[in-house]
Amino acid sequence: AVLIRYVALFTTLLGAWLLVQTYFSWSWKDISLRSWLGKQLPRHKCGNQRSCPQNHFAFKIISGAANVVGPSICFDDIILMSSVKNNIGRGLNIALVNGTSGQLLTERTFDMYSGDISKLDAFLQGITDGTFVLVASYDDAATKMNDKIRARFVELGSSYVKNLGFRDNWIFLGAKGLKNKSPFEEHIKNDKDTNKYDGWPEMLEMEGCAPRKMD
């Protein structure tokens, strides 16, 4: 009788588990021994989904959302630009990082709606070889954009800057001296039929591993 009782209990529990798994798409991976023991899952740099291999830097770039939520740039687990640091603004938010050491060289914001485009031109022209260039747009990144500035970003590895238009969202990681197009770039057009916000497209987010420049 005791054995039958245990078998019945086991069958009931197994049936309940299968029901939950079927209707709520849970799996054994979601309820692991680690979670029962209260241990935290490992945290990766910049909050990314996975760790980077040796001699690579983790990064995450988030564009602005409309003209309300500012962008964020993280590199090697350090927030370089964000609303919390109070160093972001309308237009292009750009951080320059040493490609060998991973150290921040400088960060600047350029107003692309009513700012002086010559300042951005001088800034881009002064970037030295082996420097990572991380870019996040906010509000509007293209009103003041001209062919000369677009060409400078192309030299840094951009594929989408040629098509950047009014209130488009754009995030990019390139480098001075890059021989090929950068694989780290996302762009979304301002389109009234697909915009997530009134007058602006949805926010962009990109994470990855940038290879260290080896001398």
Q: pLDDT (tens digit, 9 = 90+) per residue, 37-60?
A: 555 667 899 999 999 999 999 999
Question: Is the domain of 79 the same as that of 185?
Answer: yes
pTM strictly above 0.85 = no
Question: Is the domain of 194 the same as that of 137?
Answer: yes
The pLDDT of residue 42: 75
Question: Is the domain of 130 the same as that of 175?
Answer: yes
Max Cα separation, the chain?
A: 88
Using alpha carbons, select from 195, 196, 153, 147 the residue that is nearest to residue 171: 153
Question: Is the domain of 138 the same as that of 186?
Answer: yes
Using alpha carbons, select from 128, 109, 129 the residue that is nearest to residue 119: 109
The pLDDT of residue 198: 84
C-beta neighbour count of 101 within 10 angstroms: 12
Q: Using the structure block, give the residue that is written with the tokens 């090697």.
A: 76
Q: Which residues contact 123 (CB under 8 A, 6 or more apart)?
A: 94, 108, 110
- pLDDT tens-place string over residues 55-103: 999 999 999 998 899 999 999 999 999 999 999 999 999 999 999 999 9
In whole angstroms, what is the distance from residue 120 CA to residue 156 CA? 14
3-state DSSP assignment of residue 21: helix
Contact 53, 59 (CB under 8 A): no
Average of per-residue pLDDT values in the chain = 87
Question: Is the domain of 25 the same as that of 54?
Answer: no
List of E strands, 63-139 = 72-75, 78-81, 91-98, 104-110, 131-138
HSE of 178, CA atoms in CB hemisphere, 13 A = 25
User: What is the domain count for the chain?
Assistant: 2
* Residue ranges making up the domain that contains 3: 1-39
Q: Is the pLDDT of residue 127 over 90?
A: yes
pLDDT class of 214 with cuts at 50, 70, 90: confident
